Amino acid sequence: MFGISRQAVYQSEKRSLKRGQELAKVKDLVDGIRMDMPRLGTRKLYYLLKEEFGRDNIKIGRDALFAHLRTESMLIRPRKNYTMTTNSKHWLRKYPNLMKQAKVSRPEEFFVSDITYIKSRERTHYLSLVTDAYSRKIMGYELSDDMSAENVVKAMKMANSNRLTNKQLIHHSDRGLQYCSSVYQEELRRSDITPSMTDGYDCYQNALAERINGILKGEFLIYKCNNGKDLKQLIADSINTYNNRRPHLSLNYKTPNFIHNKKPVKLTSQV
C-alpha cells in the first residue's frame, strides 16, 4: 500500500537496533571519561574517543556526537560566577607589565599566578595557582584558609621546585597585596625571577591565569567537599588529571605536561 517492502521494513529495524547499540556504547565511553573529567566539553571528548570509535567500528562524527549528547542531556553548559579576590589599593610597590606585548615561545619563560576562592561545607578556602604560560601546566598550588602572603608564596615555592630549567623567567600576576608583599618578592629575588604585573585593575591582562582558575572550578571542582582536608585531596587529584589527561585546543589537543616536556611548537590562543 505504501510502496515499502516487508524486507525494507525489517532492514530498517535492524539498522535502528544496531545504531541504538552503537550509541549506547558511545554513552558508556563518554561516561568513562567523565568519571575523572565530569565537565569536559564535547570537542575534547571527540578527540579523546576518536580512535576508540574507529576500533569499535562506530561511525559517528563530531556533529553527530554533539547531537547525541544533546538528546541525552549530556552537553555541558558554561557556568558564570565571579568573586573579586584582589586588593590592589595599597601602598606597596607595583611592577610594570612585561607580558603586555610579549610572545611566549617556550616553557618556563612566563609564570602566571592568581588566587581564587573555593567553598567547602566547613568554610571558604583560597586556592593559589602558578601556571606556565606556554604549556598551561599548573606548576604550583596551595589551598589555605586565608589569603596571607605566607600561604600564597607556598604555591610559588612549589612551582620553583618543579622547574625543569634555570632559564630566565618572568612572574606575572595582578597587583594584589600578596604578590606585592616583601615575602613574595623576596622569593622571586631569591630565585632570580623578574616580577611583572597588570596595569591598574584590568583583569584581562591576567586572562590566562583567570582561565585556568575557571577550568579547575568549572570542570573539576564541581562538588562541595565536607571540609578542607577532603578539598585538598580533590584539588591534588584534579590538578594531576588536568596536567596529564585533559587536552587543550590551544595545545593542538595535547596535554600541558606533554607540551611542557617537549620542544616548542606553534600554539593558538584557545584553551
Each residue's pLDDT, cut to its tens digit, for the chain (271 residues) gives 777 887 776 677 777 787 778 888 888 888 888 888 888 888 888 888 888 888 888 888 888 888 888 888 888 776 655 455 454 555 578 889 998 888 899 999 999 999 999 999 999 999 999 999 999 999 999 999 998 999 999 999 999 999 999 999 999 998 888 999 999 999 999 999 999 998 865 556 688 888 898 899 888 888 889 999 999 999 999 999 999 999 998 899 999 999 999 865 555 555 5
| pTM given for the model | 0.77
Q: Which amino acid is at 79?
A: R
Q: Which amino acid is at 143?
A: L
Report whether 162 contacts 130 (CB < 8 A).
no
pLDDT at 42 (0 to 100): 87
Separation of alpha carbons 235 and 223, rounded Å:
11
Q: Cell numbers at residue 261, please?
A: 616536556
pLDDT at 119 (0 to 100): 92
Residue 125 β-bridge partners: 118
Q: Cell numbers at residue 244, please?
A: 596529564
pLDDT at 92 (0 to 100): 74
pLDDT at 118 (0 to 100): 93
pLDDT at 185 (0 to 100): 95
Separation of alpha carbons 195 and 186, rounded Å:
11
Strands (E), 14-108: none
Separation of alpha carbons 101 and 99, rounded Å:
6
pLDDT at 197 (0 to 100): 92
pLDDT at 202 (0 to 100): 57
Phi, psi (deg, nearest 5) at residue 13: -65, -40
CA 198, 201, 205, 208 torsion-angle sign: positive
- Beta strands 138-144 and 124-132 are antiparallel
Distances (CA, A) of 132 to 80, 122, 156, 224: 25, 31, 11, 27
